Amino acid sequence: MPKLVNLGSLGIDHVYSVDHITSAGETLASQTHDVFPGGKGSNQSIAAAKAGTQVVHVGCIGPDGDMLLDVLRDVNVDVSGVRVGEIATQHAVIQVDRQGQNAIVIFGGANRTITQQDRDVALSNIEPGDWLLLQNEINDLDQILEQAAERNVSVAFNVAPVDGREKGYDYSRVGLLIVNEVEAASLSGETDPELAFEALTSRYPDTIVLLTLGKDGGIYGGGKYPRVEYQAHVVDAVDETAAGDTFIGYFMAEWLRSKDLAKAIEDASAAGAIAVTKPGAASSIPSQAEVAAFKEAQTR
Specify the length of the chain in residues: 300
Q: Which domains does the chain have, with CATH numbers?
A: 4-299 (3.40.1190.20)
Active site residues: 245
For residues 281 and 43, give the distance between their C-alpha atoms in angstroms, rounded to a whole number.
Answer: 7
CA dihedral defined by 193, 198, 204, 210, rounded to 10 degrees? Answer: 40
Residue 5 — φ and ψ, nearest 5°?
-105, 115
- Model pLDDT for residues 41-56, shown as the tens digit of each residue: 999 999 999 999 999 9
- pLDDT of amino acid 283: 78
- Model pLDDT for residues 5-16, shown as the tens digit of each residue: 999 999 999 999
**Which pairs from 111-115 meet CB under 8 Å and 24+ separation?**
111/9, 111/10, 111/11, 111/39, 111/41, 111/59, 111/60, 111/137, 111/138, 111/139, 112/138, 112/139, 113/60, 113/85, 113/87, 113/139, 114/7, 114/59, 114/60, 114/138, 114/139, 114/140
- pLDDT of amino acid 101: 86
- pLDDT of amino acid 39: 93
pLDDT mean values, one per 10 residues, the chain (300 residues): 96 93 93 90 97 98 96 98 97 89 91 98 98 98 97 98 95 97 97 98 98 95 96 84 91 97 96 87 87 86
Residue type, 22: T
- pLDDT of amino acid 234: 86
